[in-house]
Amino acid sequence: MVWLLRKCIRCERYTLKKDACPYCGGELRVPHPAKFSPDDKYAIYKSPLRSVINEENDNIRERGD
Task: Kindly state whether residue 1 falls inside one of the protein's structural domains.
Answer: no
- In this predicted model, which residue has the larger pLDDT, 20 or 37? 20
DSSP for 22-64? TTT---EE--SPPPP-TT-TTHHHHHHHHHHHHHHHHHHHHHT
Give the pLDDT score at 1. Answer: 55
Task: Kindly state whether residue 46 falls inside one of the protein's structural domains.
Answer: yes
Interval 21-57: pLDDT, tens: 999 999 999 988 777 777 777 777 766 766 777 777 7
Task: Kindly state whether residue 27 falls inside one of the protein's structural domains.
Answer: yes
Q: How far apart are CA 56 and CA 48, in angstroms?
A: 13
How many domains does the chain fold into?
1
Give the pLDDT score at 42. Answer: 76
Give the pLDDT score at 35. Answer: 76
Task: Kindly state whether residue 31 falls inside one of the protein's structural domains.
Answer: yes
CATH number at residue 51: 2.20.28.40
| Domain extent for 38 | 6-63
Mean pLDDT for 54-62 is: 77
Q: How far apart are CA 35 and CA 10, in angstroms?
A: 25
Give the pLDDT score at 53. Answer: 75
